[in-house]
Amino acid sequence: MKKHTFKDWVLATRPWSFPASAMPVIVTIAWTWAQGINVNWWFALWALVNIIIVHAAGNVWSDIADYRSGVDADDTFGVRALVDGQFSVEEFRRLSLILNCIAIVGGLALVCLTGWPLLLIGVIGIALSLCYPRLKYMALGDVVIALCYALLPMTGTSFVVSGSIHWHVLWLAVPVGLITVAILHANNVRDIETDQRAGIQTFPLLTGRSFGAKLYAFEVLFPFLWLFGLMAFRIEPWWLLSAFVALPVAFKNARTMLDYEQGGKESYANLDERTAQLQLMFSLLIVVGLALSVVV
């Protein structure tokens, strides 16, 4: 059996995608602090690490399903660890099991220190993570991503760090969540033909690439309009204008997708990774704006 380095195992979890799970938690922590609510910083760090582990486990589990179903093959873009024989399916299964066990133990310990609402949120999150491949193949992947990487982590984090669920934080779940969903959407628009060959359903496959490209542009651009609305209605401070520094990147990504016919599939082959980078940049700039609203 091939011996793998620690770096190999880390790369197998697709760490470039971790902003999708980490940033909703970080934004929620920053928002809670900016509201003048006492934050338990140790629990905040704990929640951040735990959701990244859950995300890593879900990535590996999903990759197994994609490989076995033929979604990932020799002629497809994206994950190559199983396709190229770098890892065996059994190695990936063990890795996913270990990561899920660590996440469950860490989550249960945090439940004991905080309360039962976190248990409910955690159970739903783990269940969706395990069921994600099947739901993704039924064109429900976007819904799962919105729940797992916006609604659930932001409500759960607000409870963990403060002892109460602060529903108002979900105003920010819309822009952060939409860009996160766009990561998956970029992947699915690119892979329409190979997904169809594998016999699965995704939303872009049902609607066509043209509508899928337009929807992607909406998902990366509308968050800025939503954020401006929050500031205009004084729901959030004007310091969140800092997030608009990311607008040119969003425009560039949207243009790349909309020009898919001219550029060819190679031009947007890595747009999912570039969308994850946009999500990281956008969310960090929101955190900066929230911090400025407190200290300035």
CATH assignment, 8-295: 1.10.600
- Return per-residue pLDDT of the chain as tens, 296 residues: 568 899 999 999 999 889 999 999 999 999 999 999 999 999 999 999 999 999 999 999 999 988 888 887 777 776 778 888 889 999 999 999 999 999 999 999 999 999 999 999 999 998 998 899 999 999 999 999 999 999 999 999 999 999 999 999 999 999 999 999 999 999 899 888 888 888 889 989 899 989 999 999 999 999 999 999 999 999 999 999 999 999 999 999 999 999 987 877 777 788 999 999 999 999 999 999 999 999 98
Helix (H) or strand (E) holding 85: none
Dist. CA 212–CA 163, nearest whole Å: 40
Q: Where are the domains of the chain?
A: 8-295
At position 31, the amino acid (one-letter code) is: W
Sort 267 into a burial class: Cβ within 10 Å, 0-12 / 13-18 / 19+: middle
Dist. CA 31–CA 45, nearest whole Å: 15
Q: What pTM, to 2 d.p., does this model score?
A: 0.94
| Residue of 1, 111, 132, 120 whose CA lies nearest to 65 | 132
